[in-house]
Copies of this chain bind each other. A is one copy, B any other.
Amino acid sequence: MSGVVVQNIPRAAPAVIKGLAEAGVATVHEAQGRTGLLASHIRPIQQGVAVAGSAVTILAPPGDNWMLHVAIEQLREGDILVLGVTAPSDAGYFGDLLATSAMARGCRGLVIDAGVRDVADLRAMGFPVWSKAVSAQGTVNETLGSVNVPVICAGALVNPGDVVVADDDGVCVVAREAAEAVLKKARARIAAEEEKRRRLAAGELGLDMYDMRGRLAAKGLKYV
């Protein structure tokens, strides 16, 4: 699967993607049955940014960022770059020049199971990144990888065109075909939570609201 660039990938509807961004990572993760979460070592370099977009995927060798240059040509407005590696690397695959280029193509952000650099510039440019590391370590352009093939990024399978949702909690991926259904469930969940939040804020206990006392007692919980 190495050395391949898939050029035309299907994407989810913009309104669905927008809705998933608003729902956020935790809600989307729950709405799709607690799947699709990237490992918690993927952290945002900024604070307070929540986005969603279509995955343009990259499978890259360790310490080699050549395929990022190739992937940028495949970007469309609203895409998010997702880079998985064939072997672990903390090197700085991505910096302000690549971000300038990606933004010029409409890219909304980067999720990378490796390192990035120029993070002060990236924050100043408003280009959000979720990465495994921050490192100035340079990379080479020697070995082919692939673009828009299925990749595993931080333990999650990402297919090109899947919807990537990212915020301060981390990153969740939603299969493109399921995106609309997941959004529907996420919205139902949000609506239900609104009422719960109001009741909890008023002092009602979760023990009562969720009707947990009986089951706790049945399991043997003792108050002393």
Chain A interfacial positions (CB closer than 8 Å to B): 1-7, 24-26, 29-30, 33-35, 37, 39-40, 43, 47-48, 50, 61-63, 66, 69-70, 72-73, 86-92, 95-98, 100-101, 103-105, 115, 117-120, 123, 133-138, 140-144, 150, 152, 155-157, 167-170, 172, 193, 196-197, 200-203, 205-207, 210, 212, 216, 219-224
Contacts and interface: CB of A to CB of B under 8 A. Distances in A.
Contacts of A197: 96-97, 100
Given A87-B90, A220-B144, A37 B196 contact: no
A6 B95 CA distance: 35
A87 B97 contact: no
A160 to B, nearest CB: 12
B134 A200 contact: no
Q: Copy number in this complex?
A: 6
Contact of A134 (B4, B43, B63, B212): B43
14 contacts: A5-B223, A6-B224, A25-B136, A40-B133, A40-B137, A66-B212, A69-B207, A70-B216, A70-B221, A88-B90, A119-B168, A144-B221, A155-B155, A157-B157
Given A25-B136, A136-B169, A169-B134, A62 B37 contact: no
A117 B26 CA distance: 7
Given A62-B63, A88-B90, A5 B137 contact: no
Contacts of A105: 203
B134 A40 contact: yes
A63 B63 CA distance: 8
A88 B7 CA distance: 33
Contacts of A169: 92, 117-120, 134-136
B144 A142 contact: no
Nearest to A206: B69
A203 B222 CA distance: 41
A86 B1 contact: no
A207 B70 contact: yes
A170 B222 contact: no
Nearest to A89: B62
A137 B157 CA distance: 16
